[in-house]
Chains A and B, each alone.
Chain A
Amino acid sequence: MADISLGPGAEEVPLAGMLAEMLKANLEKPEKKRDFEKLKAKVLIHAVDAEAKITMDFDRGRLTVYGGEAGKPDIAIATDSTTLLELANLKIKYGMPWYFDETGLGVVRKLLKGDLKIKGMFTHLGALTRLTKIMSLS
């Protein structure tokens, strides 16, 4: 069982529990667990339409999910709630997120249109790739 816990403020933001639950299920897969154990990054997720913010603090095999902003994030993702869940539907091919199918192209389009904003995309590319692989349901 992956070491995932809810930190201060998480109880007040249902999104925190949802993502924690999803990750727990995902991390039962060994290949995702390996990425989880290597990932060290603070990720802010903002579901803009739901006015919900959480911070996921990954610390090499441990994750604490906080409600709201908790410290300076390395990566900040802001989008609407449906797109946020669609990110979990990105396929992983050859060990990398796959952007060349319908779901992947949809994500790219939203990035280009500004409907999906990711800060730290280039400065923390490795961490973002690991995060995407961990979050992906494929």
Chain B
Amino acid sequence: METEVTRMQAEDYSLFYGQFKALNKINIKIPANRVTAFIGPSGCGKSTFLRSFNRMNDLIPSVTTTGTVYLDGKDVGKQDVVELRRKVGMVFQRPNPFPKSIFDNVAYGPRLHGTKNKSDLAVLVEKSLRRSALWDEVKDDLQKSGMSLSGGQQQRLCIARAIAVNPEVILMDEPASALDPVATLKIEELMNELKNKYTIAIVTHNMQQAGRVSDYTAFMLTDENRSGNLIEFGATKQIFTTPSDSRTEDYISGRFG
């Protein structure tokens, strides 16, 4: 782990909803071009923490934070949020394509960030759809509504949409929890491909999934104040076979959660 390049980092990061402390002093270094999985029981703050990397928590007025989150060594709180979100893409739990054509869904981000030229957009859309392993299924009719695709295809469309703005990091918030096993497998295979170019952080409830797709695993748990803490972080193999914290072992062996 010492040899890895750090892409994102949190330093003594705490997050509050009003008075309630949802995340307690989290310290973590997320390595570049790896898949890092966040596991833990519901309500332990995994999703909230994930949303700190692209500042989606900014949208909730009562949220305040202490400590720092870094992208490439720079404080994300001090960056332009538009540029930050271009660099840190996100895929959500429920596939959320816009009610627009497949083409317009993928082109949405690039258009926002200033790509107007039609042929440039067409190249970008094809590249993104190929990378998200959706191209072969949709190439014949890119004008079809994104909503008409199956759930798994919709989720890959959302991945293509995130890729299209050329991010460095892709955050995935339980990306397969609304999908059937076959579609889930496709997304997992895709993550394996994507980590060559992108840094991926995924929140999952499914421990087998974390075991299959991730290189590193972070285990989170709430303390007696219901605040989310990072209990253990390390190589997935190590976390799953020889966890150093007994709580991690209890969770992974299915004793609670």
Instruction: State yes or no: do A and B come from one complex.
Output: no
